[in-house]
Structure 1
Amino acid sequence: MSNKVTVFDIPSTLKRHITSANITKPDFGIVNDNWSQEDFAVLSNENGVQHGVPVKTDYYSVILCLSGSCKKTIGHFVFEVYTNSIHLVSPAYITSFEDASDDLLLYQVLFKKEFLSHNFLKENILDNLLEVNPDYPPIYGLPKKGVASLKALYEKISDECKEQGAFHLQILRLLLTDLLYEMNRACESCLLNSTRHLSKQYQLVYKFKKLVEEKFLILKTVQEYADELFISAKYLTEIVKNETGQNALHVIHNRLYLEAQYLLSSSGLSIKEITERLNFDNSSHFSRFFKRFAGNNPSEFKQQQ
């Protein structure tokens, strides 16, 4: 079986962005191909689309939302991106978005870990900055004053990329480090104002969703996950519904559907190979499952991509 699955790096992301952008001289970010740095870039989503198929990257993104909203999926977390928020996308997870509002405006800094770890930040310090709080969705609200200062910081990074003056890479590393500390500060502020971390129910649902991320190819029923968590299937169903508003089986199926979308849009695998990789009994079973979510069958979805 072929294992070829597309993982976007920064150059391929820039190429895709430049191809789709209609802006010749943006106020923020890069929309031309004269940027040669392969481990750092800045982008905005101006003239962006309203939804995107699941993708995986080999870099981190720190994204500031200045207006509008969208629904974002990052691994086992599903949350709303909202005005005056900042969120982190890690290369460890598949990510997608949908239902983007017409006024959605995002500033994005893309970087590989090596950009900072090479002779600049110690590995353990960088890991702490990038891990933030793994028990919560990686999105944090910002006060108005904080938004203004972060917007200025992003724009300074963008200007530095465009001007490429002396020592610009060293300055970019300093500015990115500042950005990561500001994101962590926003995280701490959100946690101080939240009581959810006191809830045992929230912690149990988090363990369930994390387990789904790890074992969705193997475990397919609520009972199997309940057994792993040493609770009853009925109780697991109740607490997942209370915390997320979703049925526990839907959480399991949605993760499988996300993987199916990713493989159909970002790989050269055949429908039969994807069926086997996702551990369905046969292609017909996989097709029925996929059509319940997408409204069309896997072959039609693949052709559309």
Structure 2
Amino acid sequence: MSDKITVLDIPSTLKKHLASAGDRAPDFGIINDGWNQDDFAVLNNHPGLTHGLPVKTDYYSVILCLRGSCKKTIGHFVFEVYTNSIHLVSPQFITSFEDASPDLLLYEVLFKKEFLINNLLKENILDNLLEVNPDYPPIYGLSQKSCASLKALYEKISDESREKGAFHLPILRLLLTDLLYEMNRACENCLLHSTRHLSKQYQLVYKFKKLVEDQFLTLKTVQEYADALFISAKYLTEIVKAETGQNALHVIHNRMYLEAQYLLSSSGLSIKEIAERLNFDSSSHFSRFFKRFAGNNPSEFKQLQ
């Protein structure tokens, strides 16, 4: 059995998107499989999907929420996607969503850095645009006016990708660059009106969640993370609860569960191999852990995919 772990690229994402659309002709984004770019695409979500399993991609996504809401996980960040917001998904993180409202409407632009580098932007400038502010969830609220303006920008990108007129690729690069600057402007506006970055408590909880993202395979207890942060386990538990509403141990276990879901749905690893990769002492221990979260054991979960 192969141990290759699937990382979605743009062609495979587009293929899945078109397959799930069936005979429905979308009024936005790519409308057929004749699109031959493997480093750029534009599409919208399919209404009715309430959740998506954890995935990892080799491309960036800039996503505009025009209507509805859902709960999104991107690496160590968990946040609500809401009407009149824009968010960024980076390829280094596992991402998933759940609790999507029936009316959720998203416009999405997918791209790899190579689509812009050497054609328009120098790599260091592009990195600055894509890094945004790593201390905060990568979602930014928009005024109704800004959202309407960005909606028009996405639709212009969609039109260019459909019509494939003269110079359509250079124009798409210009429009995408415009979109990245608008996203960064929205980030700056959010930070300007936020006081959370002034809170020592927020900074500590952020460091804890970042440490979980980096060390969840080796550090398993609240005490271990508290020691790494030079604070007491009691204080860490209190501030995580106050800031997130969650128990600190739940944050650790939830990251383990996310990784388990990803490996079960996106790899050829056996359950025993996944248990070993996640540093469980036995397959039965891993199965008990997984069932507490999912309601079914890993074998049942794999059969449902």
For 1:7, the equivalent position in structure 2 comes to 7
Q: In the alignment, does 2:100 pair up with 1:104?
A: no
Report the residue type matching 2:42 in the other structure. Answer: V
Structure 1: distance between partners of 2:21 and 2:48: 8
Structure 2: distance between partners of 1:25 and 1:265: 29
**Contact 2:47 2:105 survives alignment (8 Å):** no
- 1:22: how far off? 3.6
**Contact 1:222 1:249 survives alignment (8 Å):** yes
Q: The residue matched to 2:54 in structure 1 has which SS?
A: strand
Q: The residue matched to 1:209 in structure 2 has which SS?
A: helix
Report Cα offsets for 1:271-291 as digits up to 9, x if no partner: 000000000000000000000
Structure 2: distance between partners of 1:215 and 1:31: 42
- 1:40: how far off? 0.1
For 1:113, the equivalent position in structure 2 comes to 113
**Contact 2:47 2:104 survives alignment (8 Å):** no
Q: In the alignment, does 2:252 pair up with 1:249?
A: no
Give the TM-score of the pair, scaled to structure 2: 0.98
Q: In the alignment, does 2:150 pair up with 1:150?
A: yes
Q: The residue matched to 2:291 in structure 1 has which SS?
A: helix
Q: In the alignment, does 2:280 pair up with 1:284?
A: no
1:266-305 paired onto structure 2 within 5 Å:
266-305=266-305
Q: The residue matched to 1:117 in structure 2 has which SS?
A: coil
Q: After the TM superposition, which of the residue ranges 17-26 and 265-274 deviates more from structure 2?
A: 17-26
Structure 2: distance between partners of 1:157 and 1:265: 32
Q: After the TM superposition, which of the residue ranges 204-213 and 41-50 deviates more from structure 2?
A: 41-50
For 2:220, the equivalent position in structure 1 comes to 220
Instruction: Report the RMSD for the aligned CA atoms in angstroms.
Output: 1.0
Q: In the alignment, does 2:91 pair up with 1:84?
A: no
Report the residue type matching 1:62 in the other structure. Answer: V
Structure 2: distance between partners of 1:179 and 1:82: 19
- 1:92: how far off? 0.8
- 1:2: how far off? 5.3
Give the TM-score of the pair, scaled to structure 1: 0.98
Report the residue type matching 2:150 in the other structure. Answer: L
Structure 2: distance between partners of 1:56 and 1:88: 14
Q: In the alignment, does 2:176 pair up with 1:182?
A: no
Which 4+ stretches in 1 moved above 6 angstroms? none
**Contact 1:76 1:212 survives alignment (8 Å):** yes
Q: In the alignment, does 2:152 pair up with 1:170?
A: no
Any unmatched runs of 5+ in structure 2? none
Report the residue type matching 1:136 in the other structure. Answer: Y
Structure 1: distance between partners of 2:233 and 2:23: 52
Structure 1: distance between partners of 2:210 and 2:46: 33
- 1:48: how far off? 4.6
For 1:136, the equivalent position in structure 2 comes to 136
Any unmatched runs of 5+ in structure 1? none
Report the residue type matching 1:53 in the other structure. Answer: L
- 1:207: how far off? 0.3
Report the residue type matching 2:234 in the other structure. Answer: K
Structure 2: distance between partners of 1:264 and 1:48: 24
Q: The residue matched to 2:116 in structure 1 has which SS?
A: helix
Report the residue type matching 1:237 in the other structure. Answer: T
Q: In the alignment, does 2:41 pair up with 1:36?
A: no
Q: After the TM superposition, which of the residue ranges 180-189 and 13-22 deviates more from structure 2?
A: 13-22
